[in-house]
Amino acid sequence: MAAAATDAWWQSGVIYQIYPRSFQDSNGDGIGDLRGITQRLDYLKWLGVDAIWISPIFPSPMADFGYDISDYTGIDPIFGTLSDFDALLEAAHARDLKIILDFVPNHTSDRHPWFQESRKSRDNPMRDWYIWRDPAPGGGPPNNWLSEFGGGAWTLDERTGQYYYHAFLEEQPDLNWRNPAVIAAMDDALRFWFDRGVDGMRIDALHHSIKDAQFRDNPPNPDWKPGMKPHLKVRRAHTVDQPEMRSLVMGWRKVADEYEGRVLIGEINLPIPRLMRYYGPQLDGLQLPFNFGLMNTRWGAATIGDLIARYEAALPEGAWPNWVIGNHDISRVATRLGPEGARLAAMLILTLRGTPTLYYGDELGMTDVPIAPDQVQDPFEKRVPGIGAGRDPERTPMRWDATPSAGFTTGTPWLPIGDGVAGCNVETERDDPTSMLSLHRALLKLHRKRTALAVGAYERVPATEDCLAFIRRHDRERLLVAMNFSPAPVALTLPAEFANGRVLLSTTMDRGGNASETLALHAREGVVLAPAR
Ligand code: GLC
């Protein structure tokens, strides 16, 4: 692979996702807010991340907790005001922290004035801003498209006798991205935030934005079984990843490039080869199409090693990789992999080639919090109960200290704090040299100090079946990362250049010293090794 420029902040830096309802409440209403985030910037600086991505903070009826936007250029009063936002941005920039916001182009809220206009009549000038269709010839929805949140994707609007399309909730009507007026209005929304100084946008569900022009039925999915998410009953051949997507993405990139150093990140849940197209033919698309491989791949040395190889091989020349370990839509990493697995995952994502995105609270080892039926907030769980679709468990409040509300709020938290706060919170863990938080801090420090980790080349080296080992190299700097995925100890023969190497960091946080010709790894231990001096 040809060497590409690697000096952008979004290449060498680490991104940290904040789910704003759950990070820090400053006014006692039990819901996190912007002032709360500002109060915690020193923590993030201390932790050692470089950029913060904040899930939507815009005015919203909160049917999907902010992913249903009724005004793209404001702040929801739950989170604060525009001046609170400006203050947050200024305070972040003063600490050399970047701010990334969430751009939701696929759909608005049904309360957005655009949709309110659009639904008034068939000849309303804004009718064509959304996707309206007549009923099927025999009545009923125009085709078989399904909502990601269960049920059909078409809702009949009685007043005008037509159906509108919504890939998610019926409160989230999809915009018609074939309409140039929509493109122009949303470009202006992007500029509004870039003009204020926002450093980048994470673009929500972007592969959904364009649908088949002929509205053909999606083919059935023969692999669907009861217990799987209901929208997977069909293959999304005509509803996601349409070829026209590419020019849309390049258009957004042009807007971002009107400014200095802004980044576009895309939420795109597609297999690797299709994901790659979103970099754009001339790398003129997204800088970082999110790579969810680590969240979708069975955890093991062989499967993860193979994932890395396939991803690296598929990257277009000059494209920059990235890795995601958790987010607000998937069970937390410590629940998926267990405490030791989560430590290994932390080392992996902070030593692989590519920009890491971390999810708030994962640095503490927070696990999913069980949600009683009467506490359910997530509309997905409400519509499709009982198959584990709900996302509340991974969205519970950040744990700052050992008090009952974990230092998150003085009021009643919007989701429960959960058990085990005493051992899993910032205050307790920061004083424990072997805690998950201390491990994250040490990994982030290493990532910052060692250029080889931030931007160096990746080279896999042979290891035992249960181990993954690779070298990261930049100029004369080189580091070896060795990870044992098995529940038994192993001895790894080291490449000659790392014989007698120095242990810089172990996931157990309790060893240093030197290896010999071999490196003894404990069960589920990962180690970063420097060559012997
Ligand atoms: C994305 C978001 C998710 C949201 C959905 C609809 O997948 O990550 O939280 O519910 O889009 O906007």
Contact 413, 375 (CB under 8 A): no
Return the pLDDT at 5: 75
CA of 242 to the centre of ligand 1 (A): 19
Pick the catalytic residue: 258, 284, 306, 517? 258
| Ligand 1 atom at minimal distance to the Cα of residue 327 | 8
Strand, coil or helix: 448:
helix
Decide the pairing of beta strands 162-165 and 154-157.
Answer: antiparallel
- What integer is the mean pLDDT of 465-469? 97
Give the separation between CA 36 and CA 22, rounded to whole angstroms: 10
pTM of the predicted model as reported, rounded to 2 decimal places: 0.98
pLDDT digit string (tens) for 256-310? 999 999 999 999 999 999 999 999 999 999 999 999 999 999 999 999 999 999 9
204 is known as an active-site residue: yes
pLDDT digit string (tens) for 380-405? 999 999 999 999 999 999 999 999 99
Residue 1, pLDDT > 70, answer no
What is the average pLDDT value for the chain, to the nearest integer? 97
- Grade residue 4 by pLDDT with cuts at 50, 70 and 90: low
- What integer is the mean pLDDT of 422-444? 98
- What integer is the mean pLDDT of 110-115? 98
Residue 125, pLDDT > 70, answer yes
b/e map 372-392, b = 16+ CB within 10 Å = eeeeebbbbbeebeeeebbbb
497 is known as an active-site residue: no
In short, whether 329's Cβ falls inside 6 Å of ligand 1 is: yes
- What integer is the mean pLDDT of 133-137? 97
Phi and psi for 22 in degrees, rounded to 5?
-120, 10
In short, whether 381's Cβ falls inside 6 Å of ligand 1 is: no
